[in-house]
Structure 1
Amino acid sequence: MLQSMTGYGIARRETDHYAATVEVKSLNSKTLDLSLRLPRFLQDRELEIRNLVTKTLVRGKVNLTFDFTRPRSAARLGVVLNQETLLAAYAELEKAAELVGAPKDQLFALALNLPGVLQAPTAEAVEEEEEVSWDELLPLVHEALERVNQFRRDEGQTLTAEILGYVERIRAQLTEVERYDPMRIEQVRLRLQMHLAEISANEHFNPIRFEQEILYYIEKLDIAEEKVRLGSHLQYFNETVGLPEYSGKKLAFISQEIGREINTIGSKANDSTVQHLVVGMKEELEKIKEQINNIL
Protein backbone atom coordinates (compact mmCIF):
# COMPACT_ATOMS: atom_id res chain seq x y z
CA MET A 1 0.00 0.00 0.00
CA LEU A 2 1.22 3.49 -0.83
CA GLN A 3 2.34 5.96 1.80
CA SER A 4 2.14 9.73 1.56
CA MET A 5 5.12 11.93 2.37
CA THR A 6 2.77 14.36 4.11
CA GLY A 7 2.51 13.60 7.80
CA TYR A 8 2.15 15.05 11.28
CA GLY A 9 2.87 13.61 14.70
CA ILE A 10 3.14 14.97 18.23
CA ALA A 11 4.02 13.41 21.58
CA ARG A 12 3.85 15.07 25.02
CA ARG A 13 4.89 14.27 28.56
CA GLU A 14 4.33 16.36 31.68
CA THR A 15 5.74 15.68 35.14
CA ASP A 16 6.19 17.72 38.28
CA HIS A 17 9.66 18.66 37.09
CA TYR A 18 9.26 19.33 33.34
CA ALA A 19 7.04 19.40 30.25
CA ALA A 20 8.41 17.92 27.01
CA THR A 21 6.83 18.00 23.53
CA VAL A 22 8.13 16.47 20.29
CA GLU A 23 6.37 17.71 17.15
CA VAL A 24 7.17 16.38 13.67
CA LYS A 25 5.87 17.74 10.36
CA SER A 26 6.59 16.18 6.97
CA LEU A 27 5.99 17.35 3.39
CA ASN A 28 7.01 15.93 0.01
CA SER A 29 10.61 16.17 -1.17
CA LYS A 30 12.87 14.21 -3.54
CA THR A 31 15.24 13.43 -0.66
CA LEU A 32 15.22 13.68 3.13
CA ASP A 33 15.45 17.37 4.03
CA LEU A 34 15.57 17.42 7.83
CA SER A 35 15.41 20.46 10.09
CA LEU A 36 15.87 20.00 13.85
CA ARG A 37 15.18 22.37 16.74
CA LEU A 38 16.45 20.97 20.02
CA PRO A 39 16.93 22.34 23.55
CA ARG A 40 20.49 23.22 24.53
CA PHE A 41 21.07 20.17 26.70
CA LEU A 42 20.14 17.81 23.81
CA GLN A 43 22.48 19.27 21.20
CA ASP A 44 24.86 16.33 21.60
CA ARG A 45 22.00 13.99 20.61
CA GLU A 46 21.45 15.62 17.22
CA LEU A 47 23.25 12.93 15.20
CA GLU A 48 21.35 10.15 16.95
CA ILE A 49 18.03 11.88 16.30
CA ARG A 50 18.93 12.52 12.64
CA ASN A 51 19.78 8.84 12.12
CA LEU A 52 16.52 7.81 13.78
CA VAL A 53 14.44 10.15 11.60
CA THR A 54 16.27 9.01 8.45
CA LYS A 55 15.62 5.36 9.24
CA THR A 56 11.97 5.92 10.18
CA LEU A 57 10.71 8.50 7.65
CA VAL A 58 13.12 7.79 4.75
CA ARG A 59 12.17 10.77 2.58
CA GLY A 60 10.43 14.13 2.76
CA LYS A 61 10.91 17.68 3.99
CA VAL A 62 10.81 17.07 7.75
CA ASN A 63 10.74 19.54 10.64
CA LEU A 64 11.27 18.15 14.15
CA THR A 65 10.83 20.45 17.14
CA PHE A 66 11.71 19.31 20.66
CA ASP A 67 10.34 21.72 23.29
CA PHE A 68 11.43 21.30 26.89
CA THR A 69 10.23 23.58 29.69
CA ARG A 70 10.26 23.58 33.48
CA PRO A 71 7.88 25.25 35.97
CA ARG A 72 9.10 28.73 36.70
CA SER A 73 7.16 29.42 39.91
CA ALA A 74 9.10 31.20 42.68
CA ALA A 75 7.63 28.79 45.25
CA ARG A 76 9.33 25.83 43.54
CA LEU A 77 12.54 27.55 42.51
CA GLY A 78 12.96 29.88 45.48
CA VAL A 79 14.63 33.30 45.21
CA VAL A 80 18.10 34.63 45.94
CA LEU A 81 18.62 37.90 47.85
CA ASN A 82 21.42 40.07 46.48
CA GLN A 83 22.52 41.72 49.73
CA GLU A 84 25.00 44.15 48.15
CA THR A 85 22.38 45.46 45.74
CA LEU A 86 19.82 45.78 48.57
CA LEU A 87 22.20 47.76 50.81
CA ALA A 88 23.27 50.04 47.97
CA ALA A 89 19.66 50.66 46.93
CA TYR A 90 18.51 51.35 50.48
CA ALA A 91 21.38 53.82 51.04
CA GLU A 92 20.53 55.72 47.86
CA LEU A 93 16.87 55.88 48.77
CA GLU A 94 17.74 57.09 52.29
CA LYS A 95 19.87 59.90 50.85
CA ALA A 96 17.07 60.91 48.51
CA ALA A 97 14.54 60.95 51.38
CA GLU A 98 16.81 63.17 53.48
CA LEU A 99 17.34 65.46 50.51
CA VAL A 100 13.65 66.10 50.01
CA GLY A 101 12.52 65.58 53.61
CA ALA A 102 10.39 62.54 52.84
CA PRO A 103 9.47 59.86 55.43
CA LYS A 104 11.73 56.79 55.57
CA ASP A 105 9.30 54.15 56.87
CA GLN A 106 8.67 52.63 53.37
CA LEU A 107 12.28 52.68 52.12
CA PHE A 108 12.93 48.98 52.82
CA ALA A 109 9.89 47.83 50.80
CA LEU A 110 10.87 50.11 47.95
CA ALA A 111 14.45 48.83 47.94
CA LEU A 112 13.34 45.21 48.09
CA ASN A 113 11.25 45.64 44.89
CA LEU A 114 14.01 47.27 42.86
CA PRO A 115 15.42 45.23 39.92
CA GLY A 116 18.30 42.95 40.82
CA VAL A 117 17.57 42.72 44.56
CA LEU A 118 15.59 39.47 44.40
CA GLN A 119 16.76 37.02 41.71
CA ALA A 120 15.34 33.70 40.49
CA PRO A 121 17.72 30.90 39.47
CA THR A 122 18.36 30.70 35.71
CA ALA A 123 16.80 27.97 33.57
CA GLU A 124 20.29 26.67 32.81
CA ALA A 125 21.05 26.29 36.48
CA VAL A 126 17.81 24.41 37.06
CA GLU A 127 18.55 22.04 34.17
CA GLU A 128 21.99 21.35 35.61
CA GLU A 129 20.55 20.73 39.08
CA GLU A 130 17.76 18.40 37.88
CA GLU A 131 19.18 16.51 34.92
CA VAL A 132 16.67 14.48 32.89
CA SER A 133 17.71 11.13 31.47
CA TRP A 134 17.82 10.82 27.65
CA ASP A 135 16.36 7.33 28.04
CA GLU A 136 13.33 9.02 29.58
CA LEU A 137 12.90 11.45 26.65
CA LEU A 138 13.81 9.21 23.69
CA PRO A 139 10.43 7.38 23.68
CA LEU A 140 8.77 10.72 22.91
CA VAL A 141 10.73 10.93 19.66
CA HIS A 142 9.75 7.36 18.74
CA GLU A 143 6.10 8.09 19.52
CA ALA A 144 5.99 11.26 17.42
CA LEU A 145 7.67 9.53 14.46
CA GLU A 146 5.28 6.58 14.65
CA ARG A 147 2.33 8.98 14.59
CA VAL A 148 3.79 10.63 11.49
CA ASN A 149 4.03 7.22 9.82
CA GLN A 150 0.45 6.38 10.81
CA PHE A 151 -0.67 9.70 9.32
CA ARG A 152 1.27 8.82 6.15
CA ARG A 153 -0.35 5.39 5.94
CA ASP A 154 -3.85 6.83 6.36
CA GLU A 155 -3.16 9.48 3.74
CA GLY A 156 -1.67 6.80 1.50
CA GLN A 157 -4.91 4.82 1.50
CA THR A 158 -6.75 7.86 0.14
CA LEU A 159 -4.06 8.48 -2.48
CA THR A 160 -4.12 4.82 -3.52
CA ALA A 161 -7.86 4.92 -4.21
CA GLU A 162 -7.53 8.14 -6.22
CA ILE A 163 -4.56 6.98 -8.29
CA LEU A 164 -6.06 3.58 -9.10
CA GLY A 165 -9.21 5.39 -10.19
CA TYR A 166 -7.17 7.46 -12.66
CA VAL A 167 -5.47 4.29 -13.96
CA GLU A 168 -8.84 2.63 -14.55
CA ARG A 169 -10.03 5.64 -16.55
CA ILE A 170 -6.93 5.37 -18.75
CA ARG A 171 -7.64 1.67 -19.17
CA ALA A 172 -11.25 2.42 -20.13
CA GLN A 173 -10.11 4.92 -22.76
CA LEU A 174 -7.57 2.40 -24.07
CA THR A 175 -10.46 -0.08 -24.43
CA GLU A 176 -12.30 2.54 -26.49
CA VAL A 177 -9.23 2.95 -28.69
CA GLU A 178 -9.09 -0.83 -29.20
CA ARG A 179 -12.79 -0.94 -30.00
CA TYR A 180 -12.53 1.89 -32.50
CA ASP A 181 -9.22 0.84 -34.12
CA PRO A 182 -10.74 -1.61 -36.68
CA MET A 183 -12.96 1.21 -37.97
CA ARG A 184 -9.92 3.49 -38.20
CA ILE A 185 -8.06 0.84 -40.22
CA GLU A 186 -11.05 0.40 -42.53
CA GLN A 187 -11.15 4.16 -43.16
CA VAL A 188 -7.45 4.10 -43.96
CA ARG A 189 -8.03 1.18 -46.37
CA LEU A 190 -10.82 3.04 -48.17
CA ARG A 191 -8.67 6.16 -48.53
CA LEU A 192 -5.83 4.08 -49.94
CA GLN A 193 -8.13 2.39 -52.45
CA MET A 194 -9.42 5.75 -53.58
CA HIS A 195 -5.92 7.16 -54.03
CA LEU A 196 -4.79 3.98 -55.74
CA ALA A 197 -7.50 4.33 -58.33
CA GLU A 198 -6.36 7.88 -59.02
CA ILE A 199 -2.62 7.26 -59.32
CA SER A 200 -2.75 3.89 -61.11
CA ALA A 201 -3.97 5.71 -64.22
CA ASN A 202 -0.75 7.73 -64.26
CA GLU A 203 1.66 6.48 -66.95
CA HIS A 204 4.61 6.89 -64.54
CA PHE A 205 3.01 4.63 -61.93
CA ASN A 206 5.51 2.14 -60.44
CA PRO A 207 3.57 -0.67 -58.70
CA ILE A 208 6.62 -2.10 -56.88
CA ARG A 209 7.64 1.20 -55.37
CA PHE A 210 4.03 1.98 -54.57
CA GLU A 211 3.67 -1.32 -52.72
CA GLN A 212 6.79 -0.56 -50.65
CA GLU A 213 5.48 2.87 -49.74
CA ILE A 214 2.09 1.44 -48.80
CA LEU A 215 3.71 -1.11 -46.49
CA TYR A 216 5.79 1.64 -44.87
CA TYR A 217 2.72 3.82 -44.48
CA ILE A 218 0.66 1.01 -42.94
CA GLU A 219 3.46 0.18 -40.52
CA LYS A 220 3.65 3.81 -39.41
CA LEU A 221 -0.11 3.80 -38.74
CA ASP A 222 -0.14 0.49 -36.84
CA ILE A 223 -0.63 1.01 -33.06
CA ALA A 224 -1.07 -2.63 -32.08
CA GLU A 225 2.25 -2.86 -30.21
CA GLU A 226 1.67 0.44 -28.44
CA LYS A 227 -1.75 -0.71 -27.22
CA VAL A 228 -0.27 -3.94 -25.84
CA ARG A 229 2.61 -2.14 -24.13
CA LEU A 230 0.29 0.48 -22.64
CA GLY A 231 -1.98 -2.22 -21.21
CA SER A 232 1.08 -3.99 -19.80
CA HIS A 233 2.36 -0.77 -18.17
CA LEU A 234 -1.04 -0.14 -16.58
CA GLN A 235 -1.07 -3.65 -15.14
CA TYR A 236 2.50 -3.25 -13.84
CA PHE A 237 1.51 0.06 -12.26
CA ASN A 238 -1.34 -1.60 -10.36
CA GLU A 239 0.93 -4.41 -9.19
CA THR A 240 3.55 -1.92 -7.99
CA VAL A 241 0.97 0.02 -5.99
CA GLY A 242 0.32 -3.11 -3.93
CA LEU A 243 3.99 -3.79 -3.12
CA PRO A 244 4.99 -3.55 0.57
CA GLU A 245 8.13 -1.47 -0.11
CA TYR A 246 8.24 2.26 -0.85
CA SER A 247 7.41 2.59 -4.56
CA GLY A 248 7.00 6.31 -5.32
CA LYS A 249 10.08 6.54 -7.53
CA LYS A 250 9.24 3.31 -9.37
CA LEU A 251 5.70 4.54 -10.03
CA ALA A 252 7.11 7.79 -11.41
CA PHE A 253 9.22 5.80 -13.88
CA ILE A 254 6.28 3.62 -14.93
CA SER A 255 4.22 6.79 -15.44
CA GLN A 256 6.85 8.05 -17.87
CA GLU A 257 6.56 4.82 -19.86
CA ILE A 258 2.76 5.09 -19.86
CA GLY A 259 3.04 8.64 -21.18
CA ARG A 260 5.43 7.55 -23.90
CA GLU A 261 3.00 4.92 -25.22
CA ILE A 262 0.05 7.31 -25.05
CA ASN A 263 1.97 9.92 -27.05
CA THR A 264 3.01 7.35 -29.66
CA ILE A 265 -0.57 6.16 -30.10
CA GLY A 266 -1.66 9.75 -30.61
CA SER A 267 1.02 10.51 -33.18
CA LYS A 268 0.64 7.27 -35.17
CA ALA A 269 -3.15 6.95 -35.19
CA ASN A 270 -3.73 10.00 -37.38
CA ASP A 271 -7.39 9.95 -36.40
CA SER A 272 -9.45 12.59 -34.59
CA THR A 273 -11.45 10.11 -32.49
CA VAL A 274 -8.30 8.42 -31.23
CA GLN A 275 -6.73 11.83 -30.62
CA HIS A 276 -9.65 12.79 -28.37
CA LEU A 277 -9.22 9.59 -26.38
CA VAL A 278 -5.48 10.24 -26.16
CA VAL A 279 -6.14 13.70 -24.75
CA GLY A 280 -8.36 12.12 -22.08
CA MET A 281 -5.64 9.60 -21.19
CA LYS A 282 -3.05 12.37 -20.91
CA GLU A 283 -5.35 14.29 -18.60
CA GLU A 284 -5.69 11.30 -16.25
CA LEU A 285 -1.94 10.66 -16.42
CA GLU A 286 -1.20 14.22 -15.30
CA LYS A 287 -3.41 13.65 -12.25
CA ILE A 288 -1.43 10.50 -11.49
CA LYS A 289 1.90 12.31 -11.77
CA GLU A 290 0.70 15.09 -9.50
CA GLN A 291 -0.26 12.59 -6.80
CA ILE A 292 2.92 10.54 -7.19
CA ASN A 293 4.95 13.61 -6.24
CA ASN A 294 3.67 13.07 -2.71
CA ILE A 295 4.21 9.28 -2.61
CA LEU A 296 7.00 7.88 -0.47
Structure 2
Amino acid sequence: MIESMTGYGSATNDKYIVEIRSLNHRYLEIFMKMPPYMLQHEIPLRNLIKSRFERGRFDVMITLKDEKSFGLKINREYVRNVYIALKQVQDELSIPGQIDMDTITGYRDYILEDKQEYDESTLFDTFQKALSSLEEMRIKEGSFIEKDIAKGVDKIMDINNEIKRLVPLDYERKRTKFIERIKSIVTGELIDPNRIYQEIVIMGEKLDISEELSRIESHISQIKNVINNEKVVGKKLDFLLQEINREVNTIVCKSANDEISRLVIEMKSEIEKIREQAQNIQ
Protein backbone atom coordinates (compact mmCIF):
# COMPACT_ATOMS: atom_id res chain seq x y z
CA MET A 1 0.00 0.00 0.00
CA ILE A 2 1.42 3.36 -1.07
CA GLU A 3 1.54 6.12 1.55
CA SER A 4 1.99 9.78 0.68
CA MET A 5 4.54 11.81 2.63
CA THR A 6 2.17 14.79 2.74
CA GLY A 7 -0.51 14.90 5.41
CA TYR A 8 -1.98 16.47 8.52
CA GLY A 9 -3.24 14.87 11.70
CA SER A 10 -4.56 16.24 14.98
CA ALA A 11 -6.12 15.10 18.21
CA THR A 12 -7.59 16.99 21.12
CA ASN A 13 -9.25 16.39 24.48
CA ASP A 14 -9.95 18.46 27.55
CA LYS A 15 -6.22 18.75 28.29
CA TYR A 16 -4.13 18.65 25.09
CA ILE A 17 -4.04 19.76 21.47
CA VAL A 18 -1.61 17.79 19.29
CA GLU A 19 -1.04 18.78 15.64
CA ILE A 20 1.31 16.98 13.26
CA ARG A 21 2.10 18.01 9.69
CA SER A 22 4.23 15.95 7.32
CA LEU A 23 5.90 17.00 4.08
CA ASN A 24 8.13 15.42 1.46
CA HIS A 25 11.67 14.67 2.55
CA ARG A 26 14.34 12.27 1.40
CA TYR A 27 14.84 10.97 4.93
CA LEU A 28 12.98 11.10 8.26
CA GLU A 29 13.23 14.51 9.93
CA ILE A 30 11.28 15.58 13.02
CA PHE A 31 10.78 19.06 14.50
CA MET A 32 8.87 19.34 17.78
CA LYS A 33 7.43 22.36 19.54
CA MET A 34 6.10 21.87 23.07
CA PRO A 35 6.16 23.56 26.48
CA PRO A 36 9.65 23.46 28.05
CA TYR A 37 8.44 21.39 31.01
CA MET A 38 7.44 18.58 28.58
CA LEU A 39 10.84 18.28 26.92
CA GLN A 40 11.63 15.16 28.93
CA HIS A 41 9.11 13.33 26.70
CA GLU A 42 10.53 14.52 23.38
CA ILE A 43 12.65 11.42 22.66
CA PRO A 44 9.86 8.89 23.45
CA LEU A 45 7.45 10.90 21.27
CA ARG A 46 10.01 11.02 18.45
CA ASN A 47 10.37 7.24 18.71
CA LEU A 48 6.61 6.86 18.27
CA ILE A 49 6.84 8.73 14.96
CA LYS A 50 9.83 6.62 13.85
CA SER A 51 7.96 3.42 14.67
CA ARG A 52 5.11 4.31 12.28
CA PHE A 53 6.75 6.26 9.46
CA GLU A 54 9.88 5.83 7.36
CA ARG A 55 10.25 9.08 5.42
CA GLY A 56 9.09 12.70 5.55
CA ARG A 57 9.56 15.93 7.45
CA PHE A 58 7.32 16.05 10.55
CA ASP A 59 6.37 19.29 12.31
CA VAL A 60 4.80 18.59 15.70
CA MET A 61 3.07 21.10 17.96
CA ILE A 62 1.79 20.18 21.44
CA THR A 63 -0.10 22.64 23.62
CA LEU A 64 -2.13 22.47 26.81
CA LYS A 65 -5.72 23.61 26.44
CA ASP A 66 -5.99 25.17 29.87
CA GLU A 67 -2.35 26.13 30.24
CA LYS A 68 -2.15 28.65 33.02
CA SER A 69 0.25 31.50 33.05
CA PHE A 70 3.11 30.47 35.24
CA GLY A 71 5.39 32.59 37.34
CA LEU A 72 9.03 33.27 36.61
CA LYS A 73 11.65 33.57 39.31
CA ILE A 74 15.26 34.63 39.11
CA ASN A 75 17.67 32.01 40.40
CA ARG A 76 19.59 34.52 42.47
CA GLU A 77 22.11 32.04 43.83
CA TYR A 78 22.91 30.85 40.30
CA VAL A 79 23.29 34.44 39.01
CA ARG A 80 25.57 35.30 41.94
CA ASN A 81 27.83 32.28 41.32
CA VAL A 82 28.04 33.01 37.59
CA TYR A 83 28.94 36.65 38.22
CA ILE A 84 31.62 35.81 40.80
CA ALA A 85 33.16 33.14 38.57
CA LEU A 86 33.26 35.45 35.54
CA LYS A 87 34.67 38.30 37.60
CA GLN A 88 37.45 36.10 38.98
CA VAL A 89 38.43 34.94 35.47
CA GLN A 90 38.35 38.53 34.22
CA ASP A 91 40.63 39.74 37.03
CA GLU A 92 43.07 36.81 36.76
CA LEU A 93 43.46 37.10 32.97
CA SER A 94 43.05 40.88 32.74
CA ILE A 95 40.21 40.51 30.28
CA PRO A 96 38.74 43.88 29.30
CA GLY A 97 34.99 44.47 29.17
CA GLN A 98 31.99 44.76 31.46
CA ILE A 99 30.03 41.94 33.09
CA ASP A 100 26.38 43.03 33.16
CA MET A 101 22.86 41.61 32.76
CA ASP A 102 23.40 41.05 29.04
CA THR A 103 26.18 38.67 30.03
CA ILE A 104 24.02 36.88 32.60
CA THR A 105 21.03 36.43 30.26
CA GLY A 106 23.24 34.33 28.01
CA TYR A 107 22.84 31.56 30.60
CA ARG A 108 19.48 29.78 30.39
CA ASP A 109 19.32 28.52 33.96
CA TYR A 110 19.09 31.94 35.55
CA ILE A 111 15.26 31.78 35.26
CA LEU A 112 13.16 29.31 37.25
CA GLU A 113 9.69 28.34 36.01
CA ASP A 114 6.81 27.18 38.16
CA LYS A 115 6.17 23.50 37.55
CA GLN A 116 3.04 22.69 35.54
CA GLU A 117 0.85 19.71 36.35
CA TYR A 118 -0.13 17.43 33.45
CA ASP A 119 -1.11 13.80 32.80
CA GLU A 120 1.63 11.92 30.91
CA SER A 121 -0.51 8.93 29.90
CA THR A 122 -3.15 11.23 28.43
CA LEU A 123 -0.42 13.08 26.54
CA PHE A 124 0.86 9.89 24.89
CA ASP A 125 -2.66 8.68 24.15
CA THR A 126 -3.53 11.98 22.45
CA PHE A 127 -0.25 11.88 20.52
CA GLN A 128 -1.02 8.36 19.23
CA LYS A 129 -4.44 9.49 18.05
CA ALA A 130 -2.88 12.41 16.16
CA LEU A 131 -0.44 9.98 14.51
CA SER A 132 -3.34 7.74 13.47
CA SER A 133 -5.15 10.73 12.02
CA LEU A 134 -2.01 11.70 10.08
CA GLU A 135 -1.45 8.15 8.85
CA GLU A 136 -5.05 7.90 7.65
CA MET A 137 -4.64 11.05 5.55
CA ARG A 138 -1.29 9.90 4.15
CA ILE A 139 -2.78 6.56 3.13
CA LYS A 140 -5.79 8.24 1.51
CA GLU A 141 -3.54 10.59 -0.46
CA GLY A 142 -1.29 7.65 -1.32
CA SER A 143 -4.19 5.72 -2.87
CA PHE A 144 -4.72 8.51 -5.41
CA ILE A 145 -1.02 8.58 -6.23
CA GLU A 146 -1.01 4.79 -6.58
CA LYS A 147 -3.76 4.94 -9.20
CA ASP A 148 -1.85 7.55 -11.20
CA ILE A 149 1.35 5.51 -11.03
CA ALA A 150 -0.49 2.33 -12.08
CA LYS A 151 -1.89 4.13 -15.13
CA GLY A 152 1.56 5.41 -16.04
CA VAL A 153 3.13 1.95 -15.65
CA ASP A 154 0.44 0.40 -17.87
CA LYS A 155 1.07 3.10 -20.45
CA ILE A 156 4.80 2.32 -20.45
CA MET A 157 4.02 -1.38 -20.93
CA ASP A 158 1.70 -0.61 -23.85
CA ILE A 159 4.39 1.52 -25.50
CA ASN A 160 6.97 -1.21 -24.89
CA ASN A 161 4.69 -3.77 -26.59
CA GLU A 162 4.16 -1.44 -29.54
CA ILE A 163 7.92 -1.05 -29.97
CA LYS A 164 8.29 -4.84 -29.85
CA ARG A 165 5.76 -5.11 -32.67
CA LEU A 166 7.78 -2.67 -34.77
CA VAL A 167 11.17 -4.35 -34.21
CA PRO A 168 10.83 -7.10 -36.91
CA LEU A 169 9.56 -4.54 -39.43
CA ASP A 170 12.41 -2.19 -38.59
CA TYR A 171 14.95 -5.02 -38.94
CA GLU A 172 13.57 -6.01 -42.34
CA ARG A 173 13.69 -2.41 -43.48
CA LYS A 174 17.32 -2.08 -42.43
CA ARG A 175 18.22 -5.40 -44.06
CA THR A 176 16.69 -4.39 -47.39
CA LYS A 177 18.32 -0.99 -47.25
CA PHE A 178 21.69 -2.57 -46.48
CA ILE A 179 21.50 -4.99 -49.43
CA GLU A 180 20.49 -2.21 -51.81
CA ARG A 181 23.37 -0.10 -50.61
CA ILE A 182 25.86 -2.95 -51.15
CA LYS A 183 24.52 -3.57 -54.67
CA SER A 184 24.88 0.09 -55.55
CA ILE A 185 28.56 0.00 -54.59
CA VAL A 186 29.71 -3.44 -55.74
CA THR A 187 29.10 -5.03 -59.15
CA GLY A 188 26.95 -8.15 -59.25
CA GLU A 189 29.69 -10.70 -59.93
CA LEU A 190 31.72 -9.57 -56.92
CA ILE A 191 28.89 -9.94 -54.43
CA ASP A 192 29.27 -12.89 -52.06
CA PRO A 193 25.79 -13.75 -50.68
CA ASN A 194 27.30 -15.44 -47.62
CA ARG A 195 29.40 -12.38 -46.81
CA ILE A 196 26.35 -10.15 -47.10
CA TYR A 197 24.41 -12.47 -44.80
CA GLN A 198 27.22 -12.33 -42.19
CA GLU A 199 27.27 -8.54 -42.32
CA ILE A 200 23.50 -8.44 -41.90
CA VAL A 201 23.74 -10.68 -38.83
CA ILE A 202 26.48 -8.50 -37.31
CA MET A 203 24.46 -5.38 -38.04
CA GLY A 204 21.37 -6.98 -36.52
CA GLU A 205 23.22 -7.83 -33.30
CA LYS A 206 24.50 -4.28 -32.95
CA LEU A 207 21.08 -2.74 -33.53
CA ASP A 208 18.97 -5.36 -31.74
CA ILE A 209 16.85 -3.82 -28.94
CA SER A 210 14.98 -6.95 -27.85
CA GLU A 211 17.18 -7.28 -24.75
CA GLU A 212 16.40 -3.73 -23.66
CA LEU A 213 12.68 -4.29 -24.22
CA SER A 214 12.77 -7.49 -22.14
CA ARG A 215 14.53 -5.71 -19.29
CA ILE A 216 11.95 -2.94 -19.38
CA GLU A 217 9.24 -5.61 -19.01
CA SER A 218 11.12 -7.07 -16.04
CA HIS A 219 11.45 -3.66 -14.35
CA ILE A 220 7.75 -2.95 -14.88
CA SER A 221 6.91 -6.29 -13.27
CA GLN A 222 9.10 -5.38 -10.28
CA ILE A 223 7.42 -1.97 -9.97
CA LYS A 224 3.99 -3.60 -9.83
CA ASN A 225 5.20 -6.05 -7.21
CA VAL A 226 6.66 -3.26 -5.06
CA ILE A 227 3.48 -1.17 -5.30
CA ASN A 228 1.20 -4.08 -4.42
CA ASN A 229 3.21 -5.71 -1.64
CA GLU A 230 5.37 -3.14 0.11
CA LYS A 231 4.69 -0.12 2.29
CA VAL A 232 7.95 1.81 1.75
CA VAL A 233 8.21 2.12 -2.03
CA GLY A 234 9.52 5.60 -2.91
CA LYS A 235 13.25 4.87 -3.15
CA LYS A 236 12.81 1.48 -4.84
CA LEU A 237 10.42 2.97 -7.34
CA ASP A 238 12.85 5.76 -8.17
CA PHE A 239 15.67 3.24 -8.70
CA LEU A 240 13.59 1.02 -11.03
CA LEU A 241 12.49 4.06 -13.04
CA GLN A 242 16.12 5.06 -13.46
CA GLU A 243 16.84 1.56 -14.79
CA ILE A 244 13.97 1.79 -17.27
CA ASN A 245 15.21 5.20 -18.37
CA ARG A 246 18.68 3.74 -18.95
CA GLU A 247 17.23 1.02 -21.22
CA VAL A 248 15.19 3.62 -23.09
CA ASN A 249 18.31 5.70 -23.74
CA THR A 250 20.02 2.62 -25.18
CA ILE A 251 17.06 2.04 -27.51
CA VAL A 252 17.36 5.65 -28.70
CA CYS A 253 21.03 5.09 -29.58
CA LYS A 254 20.39 1.82 -31.43
CA SER A 255 17.24 2.60 -33.37
CA ALA A 256 16.91 5.09 -36.21
CA ASN A 257 13.25 4.32 -36.82
CA ASP A 258 11.07 7.43 -36.68
CA GLU A 259 8.07 5.60 -35.24
CA ILE A 260 10.16 3.92 -32.54
CA SER A 261 11.79 7.27 -31.73
CA ARG A 262 8.35 8.83 -31.30
CA LEU A 263 7.27 6.02 -28.98
CA VAL A 264 10.48 6.30 -26.97
CA ILE A 265 9.86 10.03 -26.39
CA GLU A 266 6.36 9.16 -25.22
CA MET A 267 7.76 6.52 -22.88
CA LYS A 268 10.31 8.94 -21.38
CA SER A 269 7.52 11.42 -20.75
CA GLU A 270 5.55 8.79 -18.80
CA ILE A 271 8.67 7.81 -16.83
CA GLU A 272 9.21 11.43 -15.80
CA LYS A 273 5.60 11.75 -14.66
CA ILE A 274 5.92 8.68 -12.46
CA ARG A 275 9.26 9.88 -11.05
CA GLU A 276 7.60 13.13 -9.99
CA GLN A 277 4.91 11.13 -8.21
CA ALA A 278 7.54 8.91 -6.58
CA GLN A 279 8.98 12.00 -4.87
CA ASN A 280 5.70 12.33 -2.95
CA ILE A 281 5.48 8.83 -1.51
CA GLN A 282 7.09 7.10 1.44
Common fold by TM > 0.5: yes
1:107-126 matches, within 5 Å, as 125=114
Residue 3 of structure 1 deviates from its aligned partner by 0.8
Residue 53 of structure 1 deviates from its aligned partner by 1.3
Of 87, 100, 121, 1:135 maps to 121
1:169-184 matches, within 5 Å, as 169-184=155-170
1:112-261 matches, within 5 Å, as 125=114, 128=116, 131-201=117-187, 213-261=199-247
Q: TM-score, normalised by structure 1?
A: 0.75
Of 21, 36, 57, 1:25 maps to 21
Q: TM-score, normalised by structure 2?
A: 0.78
**Which position in structure 2 is the counterpart of 1:278?**
264
Cα contact 2:18–2:130 (8 A) shared by 1? yes
Q: Does 1:10 align with 2:10?
A: yes
Matched to 2:142, the amino acid is: G
Unaligned runs of 5+ in 2: 71-112
Larger radius of gyration: 1
Cα contact 1:199–1:205 (8 A) shared by 2? no
1:201-246 Cα deviation digits (max 9, x unpaired): 2999898876655433221111111111111211121111101331
Q: Aligned to 1:44, what secondary structure does the other structure show?
A: helix
Residue 156 of structure 1 deviates from its aligned partner by 1.0
Cα contact 1:221–1:270 (8 A) shared by 2? no
* 1:175 to 1:208, Cα distance in 2 relative to 1, 3 A: closer
Cα distance in 1 between the residues matched to 2:162 and 2:195: 35
Unaligned runs of 5+ in 1: 78-123
Q: Aligned to 1:64, what secondary structure does the other structure show?
A: strand
Matched to 1:65, the amino acid is: M
Cα contact 2:171–2:204 (8 A) shared by 1? no
Number of corresponding residues: 240
**Which position in structure 2 is the counterpart of 1:118?**
none
Deviates more, 1:272-281 or 1:182-191: 182-191
Percent of matched pairs sharing the same residue:
34
Cα distance in 2 between the residues matched to 1:133 and 1:3: 32
Quote the RMSD (CA, aligned, Å): 2.3
* 1:210 to 1:181, Cα distance in 2 relative to 1, 3 A: closer
